[in-house]
Amino acid sequence: MTTVILKKKISPRVVNGHPWIFGNEVNLIDGEAKPGDVVEVFTHDKKFVGKGYLNPQSQIPVRILTRDKQETVNEDFFYRKLKQAWEYRQQLGYVENCRLIFGEADSLPQLIIDKFNDYFVIQTLALGIDVWKPAIVAALEKIFKPKGIYERNDVPVRELEGLTQQKGYLSAPFDTQIVIQENGLKFYVDVENGQKTGYFLDQQDNRRAIQHIVKGADVLGAFTYTGTFEIHAAHYGARSVLGLDISANAVAQATRNAELNGYGDRCKFECVNAFDVLKEWAREGRQHDVVMLDPPSFTKTRDNIQKAITGYKEINLRGMKLVKPGGFLVTSSCTNLVPAPMFLEIIQMAAKDARRKLRQVTFLTQSADHPIVWGWENTHYLKFLIVQVM
């Protein structure tokens, strides 16, 4: 097997178990290996680090799959990994919908698998995991006997690995508009054309956290996507709910979801630019009992962190101004480059500018089917905060 020898000075991250080996940490690739092959990795003084897949053209040329020198990376390896991941989710109570594989946190770097009841959506975001896609599909078939498997590899990050963007069936064709159940509600999932894998499972536990603060409340939701938070608010007894999103398709899906659950009368959605509308409504003095903000990630790179900070501060400032005294702000950030302490500091800065006092109700992260490995910032990305705005 081809070996990769690391430089003497490498990040403690590698020694402490993180699977990424960056290009500036590689001293030598010894042997013939084509991109996607599994290689053995050693320190400069010949200590075994692990086995991983190789892609010399990537900024991360090696990603470790196992630290066990005796373990062979083959089809059975992926079957065992998927089975272990499923057993873990079941232990936590995720038996219907869950993120079955969360990449690095499940020791399968750059592999995402979402389980929507009997349907599965796969993303293989690096060359070295993409070559094992047939083995991964075979493992899913063996463990679950699914009704359908779909590939959502229409993401630009694959091009950095020399891969093409693509999507399509990895099983017999099926209706890609499926319905799932979450917290006693039903939601359409568009696995073919929805964002990411079609649905944001990472907030499924957090959506329950609003149940007490929305009873009898007038609720405003911004960046609603398919209306999951808003429909939960109606379900938990909100008097009225208005959701805003810039995407006409998202608004149409949210409206369908509201009607699917019988809340079409109390839960309305509008296609508008939330940034502009929130600013305008704040000037007009409009106020609501609860304002919910779930914006998209404001940056994917460290170069734009300041832009993300400015964006989060501005949107939360506008949100706070729309909350009645004693009401509640529900706000999220899915930018992993903005860590939790920084996010809380941003919210505090927004409160100072809005001249409002905050009282924390709860501060959570992503649902537990997206496990966090301490010290690996890419596994700890979602921040979910509820505060009372005084």
Report d(CA 351, CA 344) in Å as an integer.
11
DSSP string, 206-236: GGGGGTTTTTT-EEEEES-TTTHHHHHHHHT
- The pLDDT of residue 362 is 98
Q: pLDDT digit string (tens) for 5-25?
A: 999 999 889 988 999 999 999
- The pLDDT of residue 126 is 98
Strands (E), the chain: 3-6, 20-21, 26-30, 38-42, 48-54, 62-66, 97-102, 111-116, 119-124, 148-153, 166-169, 177-182, 185-190, 218-222, 240-245, 267-271, 288-293, 323-333, 358-364, 383-389
Q: Alpha-carbon torsion 87, 91, 97, 99, what sign?
A: negative
Q: What is the mean pLDDT of residues 274-288?
A: 94
Confidence of residue 97 (pLDDT cuts 50, 70, 90): very high
- The pLDDT of residue 189 is 97
Residue 35's φ and ψ, nearest 5 degrees, are -55, 135
Under CATH, which number does the domain 75-175 receive? Answer: 3.30.750.80
pLDDT over 80 at 299, yes or no:
no
Superfamily of chain region 200-389: Vaccinia Virus protein VP39 (3.40.50.150)
- The pLDDT of residue 296 is 82
pLDDT over 80 at 87, yes or no:
yes
- The pLDDT of residue 335 is 87
Residue 317's φ and ψ, nearest 5 degrees, are -60, -45
Superfamily of chain region 3-66: PUA domain (2.30.130.10)
Q: Alpha-carbon torsion 28, 31, 35, 39, what sign?
A: negative
- The pLDDT of residue 297 is 80
Q: pLDDT digit string (tens) for 108-141?
A: 999 999 999 999 999 999 999 999 999 999 999 9
pLDDT over 80 at 174, yes or no:
yes
pLDDT over 80 at 304, yes or no:
no
Give CATH 3.40.50.150 domain extents, the chain: 200-389
- The pLDDT of residue 6 is 96
Task: Say what the pTM is.
Answer: 0.95
Report DSSP state, residue 9: S
- Per the prediction, the chain carries an average pLDDT of 96
% of the chain exceeding 90 in pLDDT: 91
pLDDT over 90 at 300, yes or no:
no
- The pLDDT of residue 158 is 96
pLDDT over 80 at 324, yes or no:
yes
Give CATH 2.30.130.10 domain extents, the chain: 3-66
Q: pLDDT digit string (tens) for 356-368?
A: 999 999 999 999 9
Q: pLDDT digit string (tens) for 202-230?
A: 999 999 999 999 999 999 999 999 999 99
- The pLDDT of residue 375 is 87
- The pLDDT of residue 301 is 73
% of the chain exceeding 70 in pLDDT: 99
Q: pLDDT digit string (tens) for 71-84?
A: 999 999 999 999 99
Q: pLDDT digit string (tens) for 139-159?
A: 999 999 999 999 999 999 999
- The pLDDT of residue 307 is 82
CA distances (Å), 308 to each of 180, 205, 338, in order?
33, 25, 8
- Lookup result for tokens 């944001």: 200
- The pLDDT of residue 308 is 81
Report d(CA 198, CA 153) in Å as an integer.
12
Burial of 132 (0-12, 13-18, 19+ CB in 10 A): buried
